[in-house]
């Protein structure tokens, strides 16, 4: 399994001090968080994409390119790439360029986003959100796999004999996750293409996550990509840790109560009971995260949200230390126990290049036999 962190990049006042970091401070903090993730042995750093205050990550490829130059092993991803409001031609070129710069350490997560006003800012109609996601990804999928594309659709100007440059590294496009928390159409889209499905379940109860993941798995098998157990699944998570659980609750409560998304809503205790949020000791985080397998099956990627709601950078880096030193090693060991042999490993560029070479060799052998 792959373990990592994702950031939403919010610029939020620290409720315990009243201080709000500058955008510059927050952007630099995100870089420091990525570097700390690599330092402690995590596998993935992912950033969201937002175009509205109080969020700063409006240009994920710029951020990830900078991080790529300062890391060696970390897989660099998005936790949302807005497939609805971005031009698929620009996505194809931006992420292929990033893939070359990072020597293949790149994948991305397609999503529709949850901020309605973004659509008209980019000349799109939110009422066409699902249709945009379907059409734009169909074009992106071709742009990465066909050297010359002629295409016509509903939402952008036609393409005539167009070649996206640069071409994907080693002829293998970045791996794509389709992220959704509530749209079965997106789970269907992921299954149709044989791509990964990421259910960012940080706000949802287990039964909803189970339903969405099972839908994706069954449709993945329906389209002939493998068994339901071979589908590629990722999950979100959200934690705040101290060695003593009471200290964690006491310290995190003001941040929870004033968070821009769920603040002033359910209590911390209610939210912890109903969602994957864990506020407590590293042992409690391990126990709750291992339980995800009970309703999602054996899966490939687990990302945690750690840096939001005004938490100071020093605190976030302490959280990453605990995650890397005390939580993830145990999770790796425990998730490996009893994992069926047919369940695939998490996707990497090297593994996908090798698989493509094997497929090409098999196809060549079939041609020789047929002739």
Residues, the chain, total? 371
Confidence at 261, pLDDT banded by 50, 70, 90: confident
Confidence at 371, pLDDT banded by 50, 70, 90: low
User: How many helices (H) does the chain have, and how many strands (E)?
Assistant: 14, 12
The tokens for 51 are: 């175009």
More confident residue, 325 or 53: 325
pLDDT beyond 90 at 112: no
Q: Report the predicted TM-score, pTM, of the whole model to 2 decimal places.
A: 0.94
* CB of 357 closer than 8 Å to CB of 312: no
pLDDT beyond 90 at 105: yes
Kindly report, residue by residue over 7-36, the tens digit of the pLDDT: 999 999 999 999 999 999 999 999 999 999
Confidence at 64, pLDDT banded by 50, 70, 90: very high
* Domains in the chain: ranges and CATH: 2-370 (3.20.20.30)
Please report the pLDDT score of residue 368 as a whole number: 67
pLDDT beyond 90 at 362: no
Q: What are phi and psi of 122, to 5 degrees?
A: -110, 20
Kindly state the average pLDDT of the residues 178-204: 90
Please report the pLDDT score of residue 95 as a whole number: 97
CA nearest 7: which of 307, 235, 252?
307
Q: In terms of C-beta density within 10 A (0-12 exposed, 13-18 middle, 19 or more buried), how is residue 53 classed?
A: exposed
pLDDT beyond 70 at 278: yes
Q: In terms of C-beta density within 10 A (0-12 exposed, 13-18 middle, 19 or more buried), how is residue 369 classed?
A: exposed
Least confident of 141-145, 164-168, 199-203, 346-350: 199-203
pLDDT beyond 80 at 370: no
pLDDT beyond 70 at 114: no
Please report the pLDDT score of residue 190 as a whole number: 96
* CB of 34 closer than 8 Å to CB of 57: no
Mean pLDDT, the chain, rounded, equals 93
């Amino acid at each position: 399994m792959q373990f990592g962190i994702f950031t939403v990049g919010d610029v939020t006042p620290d409720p315990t001090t009243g201080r709000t970091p500058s955008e510059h401070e927050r952007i630099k903090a995100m870089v420091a968080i990525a570097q700390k993730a690599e330092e402690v042995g995590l596998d993935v750093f992912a950033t969201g994409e937002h175009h509205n205050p109080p969020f700063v990550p409006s240009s994920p490829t710029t951020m990830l390119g900078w991080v790529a130059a300062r890391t060696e092993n970390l897989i660099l991803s998005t936790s949302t790439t807005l497939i609805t409001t971005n031009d698929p031609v620009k996505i194809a070129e931006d992420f292929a360029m990033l893939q070359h710069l990072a020597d293949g350490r790149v994948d991305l997560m397609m999503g529709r986003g949850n901020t309605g006003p973004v659509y008209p800012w980019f000349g799109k109609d939110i009422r066409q959100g699902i249709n945009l996601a379907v059409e734009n990804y169909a074009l992106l999928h071709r742009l990465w796999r066909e050297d010359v594309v002629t295409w016509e659709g509903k939402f952008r100007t036609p393409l005539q004999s167009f070649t996206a440059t640069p071409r994907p590294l080693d002829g293998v496009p970045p791996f794509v996750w389709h992220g959704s928390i509530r749209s079965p159409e997106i789970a269907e889209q992921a299954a149709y293409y044989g791509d990964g499905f990421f259910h960012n379940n940080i706000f949802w109860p287990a039964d909803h996550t189970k339903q969405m993941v099972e839908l994706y798995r069954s449709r993945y098998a329906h389209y002939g990509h493998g068994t339901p157990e071979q589908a590629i699944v990722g999950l979100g998570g959200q934690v705040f840790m101290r060695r003593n659980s009471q200290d964690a609750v006491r310290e995190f409560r003001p941040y929870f109560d004033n968070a821009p998304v769920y603040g002033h809503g359910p209590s911390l205790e209610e939210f912890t009971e109903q969602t994957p949020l864990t506020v407590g000791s590293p042992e409690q985080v391990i126990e709750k995260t291992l339980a995800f397998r009970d309703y999602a099956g054996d899966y490939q990627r687990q990302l945690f949200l750690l840096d939001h709601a005004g938490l100071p950078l020093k605190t976030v880096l302490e959280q990453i230390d605990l995650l890397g030193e005390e939580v993830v090693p145990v999770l790796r060991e425990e998730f490996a126990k009893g994992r069926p042999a047919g369940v695939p490993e998490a996707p990497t560029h090297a593994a996908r290049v090798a698989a493509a070479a094997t497929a090409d060799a098999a196809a060549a052998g079939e041609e020789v036999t047929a002739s």
